[in-house]
Structure 1
Amino acid sequence: MSKKTAVIGASPNDARYSFRATKMLSDYNHEVVPLGIRKGVIGKHEIIVDWPKVIDDLNTVTLYIGPQRQPQYYDYIINLKPKRVIFNPGTENPEFESKLHDAGIETENACTLVMLSTSQY
């Protein structure tokens, strides 16, 4: 089943995990919405720099920004109303996790790439 996923911190740099995750999500037939701060392309996806206020039918947000940069996005992510937020290694943030839980949003401290490759996504 396809799970529409927003990749926050998407980068056109092919050495970045956000780049790999965007490609892998697409390869596994998940609709992907790459949100970043720099224009670029990942596979067939343009990185969106003017982030939309609404993303219909959003299942998952997968984070590729460190905890020190996350506070400015707390309200944005909560208002997207995803079913879950994945904190990839290095993005773990107990404060934000608590806010997400209070909003009824599930969280996981996991690696999107590993989840996909082991059929746990």
Structure 2
Amino acid sequence: MNKTTLVFGASLKPERYSNIAINRLLDNEIEVLAYGMKKGAIEKVEIDTDLKDYKNIDTVTLYLNPKRQEEYYSYIISLKPRRVIFNPGTENPEFYSMLKENNITFEVACTLVLLATNQY
């Protein structure tokens, strides 16, 4: 099954959870795409700083606080992912409702925990 994951809010800083998640996703042989504010690479994953028309995204895992998510609602919905993961600190009931209306499932969970417990 395709598990291509878009890490949304990717950071070049190795101590950031988005950076750690990219590395763990790669360790689990999951195809990773990344969007962030600064261009660069984490391992072999280039961080895009412009919004691309990605295809076949299974999961969007969020690392942006709810206020910063607002400008990306339509974009994320347009990608038609199977699910969106709201990592700790990204919980957003307003966005949950929009995802439900568009038949996109969501989880309030931690990507790192899901990977570590084979629930990803």
TM-score bin, normalised by smaller chain: over 0.9
Corresponding residue of 1:68 = 67
Identity %: 54
Structure 1, 39-48 or 8-17: larger mean CA deviation: 39-48
Q: Is the 8 A contact 2:35 2:51 kept in 1?
A: yes
Q: Which residue of 1 aligns with 2:88?
A: 89
Structure 1 distance, partners of 2:2, 2:43, is 18
Do 1:11 and 1:40's aligned partners in 2 also have CA atoms closer than 8 Å? no
Structure 2 length-normalised TM: 0.97
Q: d(CA) in 2 for partners of 1:26 and 1:62?
A: 14
**Is the contact between residue 2 and residue 58 of structure 2 (CA under 8 Å) also seen in structure 1?**
no
Q: For structure 2, which runs of at least 5 residues remain unmatched after alignment? A: none
Deviations 1:12-37 (A, max 9, x none): 00010000001111110110001101
Cα separation, 2, equivalents of 1:97 and 1:116: 22
Q: Give the count of matched residue pairs.
A: 120
Task: Specify the alignment match of 2:98 in structure 1.
Answer: 99
* Residue 51 (structure 1) shift: 1.9
TM-score normalized by the length of structure 1:
0.96
| Residue 113 of structure 1: aligned partner | 112
- State how far apart, in whole Å, the 2-side matches of 1:66 and 1:101 are: 19
Distance 2:97 2:30 in 1: 27
